[in-house]
Amino acid sequence: MAFDTKVAILVHEDLAVWQKLNVTAFLATGIAGAAPEAMGEPYIGATGRRYAPLLGQPMLVFAATLEDLRRSHRIAGERDLACAAYVRSMFSTGDDAANREAFLTELADAPDFVGIAMRGPKKDVDRATKGTKLHP
List CB contacts of 76: < 8 A, sequence separation 6 or more. Answer: 83, 116, 118, 120, 124, 128
Give the tens place of pLDDT for each residue, 4-55.
Answer: 999 999 999 999 999 999 999 999 999 999 999 999 999 999 999 999 999 9
pTM comes to 0.93
Query: Domain 5-35+56-134 class?
Result: alpha beta
Q: d(Cα 38, Cα 35) in Å, to the nearest integer?
A: 5
Helix residue ranges per DSSP H, 1-136: 17-34, 66-78, 96-104, 122-129
Domain extent listing, the chain: 5-35+56-134
Give the tens place of pLDDT for each residue, 75-131.
Answer: 999 999 999 999 999 999 989 999 999 999 998 889 999 999 999 999 999 999 999
